[in-house]
């Protein structure tokens, strides 16, 4: 039984993982390099600056700190071009129902995302008010797979890691949650993510029961 849920944003709540991929790919191509969808799994959940460094390393490209800062700005402009007109139609299946059940039953809800655009996106899709705490890329100093994002989330809710469940779509985010001592549900494919945790296609595949501030959660059979 859990008392709180820590949601990742991109690829869990909203369908923005593809927009990040498109913007990074456009940036990589503009630098004369490229990367695959398989390599992209290593970028999911990782902060903007760290993601750029990974792409530069893959392409064996060297850039100064100033140039890297400029490239991050360009990538973000391209990402925002793709994502700022989002509305609630881009909320992923099952998210709204789960947030409503949690809220009605006083189960605590926090966001644990690397994105510095998290507040903008949550407001654009109308979900901002569900979150008691938002831990995003503006509040953390260490990128996933470091557990800091989720540790700060649990702390903000006044809960221990063992009292929270993390919902994540990225390899790095699942590593972060596990190393912080959190149980985790993966969104995606078990072979890509982590065979040792419950993995579902989306939140509609989960069966959960909220009562008196507690949550039990299982994969629907």
Q: How far is the CB of 214 from Mg ion (least distance, A)?
A: 26
List the one residue from 136, 151, 169, 175 that touches Mg ion (CB under 5 A). Answer: 169
The answer to whether the CB of 55 falls within 8 A of the CB of 71 is: no
List the one residue from 4, 5, 7, 8 that touches Mg ion (CB under 5 A). Answer: 8
Q: How far is the CB of 10 from ligand BG6 (least distance, A)?
A: 4
Which residues have a catalytic role annotated? 8, 10
Could you tell me which stretch among 7-15, 18-26, 148-156, 210-218 binds Mg ion (CB under 5 A)?
Answer: 7-15
Choosing among Mg ion, ligand BG6, none, which partner's interface includes residue 140 (Cβ < 5 to 8 Å by kind)? none
Which is closer to Mg ion, CB of 49 or CB of 61? 49
Beta bridge partners of 164: 4
Choosing among ligand BG6, Mg ion, none, which partner's interface includes residue 116 (Cβ < 5 to 8 Å by kind)? ligand BG6
Which is closer to ligand BG6, CB of 151 or CB of 163? 151
Query: Residue 32 half-sphere exposure, CB side, CA atoms within 13 Å?
Result: 3
The answer to whether the CB of 184 falls within 8 A of the CB of 168 is: yes
List the one residue from 114, 134, 193, 217 that touches ligand BG6 (CB under 6 A). Answer: 114
Q: State yes or no: residue 43 binds ligand BG6 (CB under 6 A).
A: yes
Could you tell me which stretch among 26-34, 83-91, 168-176, 212-220 binds Mg ion (CB under 5 A)?
Answer: 168-176
The answer to whether the CB of 114 falls within 8 A of the CB of 149 is: yes
> What is the 8-class DSSP label of residue 132?
S
Q: State yes or no: residue 51 binds ligand BG6 (CB under 6 A).
A: yes
Structural Rg of the chain based on CA atoms:
17
Per-position DSSP letters for 63-125, written without gaps between them: --HHHHHHHHHHHHHHHHHHHTT--GGGBPTTHHHHHHHHHHTT-EEEEE---TTHHHHHHHT
Using CB under 6 A, which residues numbered 163 to 192 contact ligand BG6? Answer: 170
Q: State yes or no: residue 11 binds Mg ion (CB under 5 A).
A: yes
Span between the terminal Cα atoms of the chain, in Å: 19
Q: State yes or no: residue 41 binds ligand BG6 (CB under 6 A).
A: no
Residues contacting residue 115 through CB under 8 Å, at least 6 positions apart: 9, 10, 121, 136, 137
Residues belonging to the chain = 221
Question: Which residues are near Mg ion by CB under 5 A?
Answer: 8, 10-11, 169-170
């Amino acid at each position: 039984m859990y008392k709180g849920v820590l949601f990742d944003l991109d690829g869990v709540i909203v369908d923005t993982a593809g927009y990040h991929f498109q913007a990074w790919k456009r940036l990589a191509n503009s630098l004369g390099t490229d990367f695959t969808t398989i390599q992209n799994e290593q970028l999911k959940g990782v902060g903007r600056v760290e993601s750029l460094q990974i792409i530069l390393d893959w392409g064996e490209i060297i850039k100064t700190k100033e140039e890297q800062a400029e490239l991050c700005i360009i990538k973000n402009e391209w990402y925002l071009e793709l994502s700022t007109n989002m509305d609630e139609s881009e909320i992923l299946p099952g998210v709204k129902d789960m947030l409503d059940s949690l809220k009605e039953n006083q189960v605590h809800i926090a966001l644990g995302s690397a994105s510095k655009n998290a507040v903008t996106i949550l407001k654009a899709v109308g979900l901002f008010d569900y979150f008691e705490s938002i831990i995003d890329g503006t509040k953390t100093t260490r990128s996933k797979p470091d557990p800091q994002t989720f540790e700060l989330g649990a702390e903000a809710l006044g809960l221990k890691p063992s009292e929270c469940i993390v919902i994540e779509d990225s390899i790095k985010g699942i590593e972060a949650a596990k190393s912080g001592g959190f149980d985790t549900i993966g969104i995606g494919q078990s072979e890509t993510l982590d065979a040792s945790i419950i993995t579902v296609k989306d939140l509609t595949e989960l069966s959960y029961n909220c009562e008196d501030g507690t949550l039990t959660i299982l994969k629907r059979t």
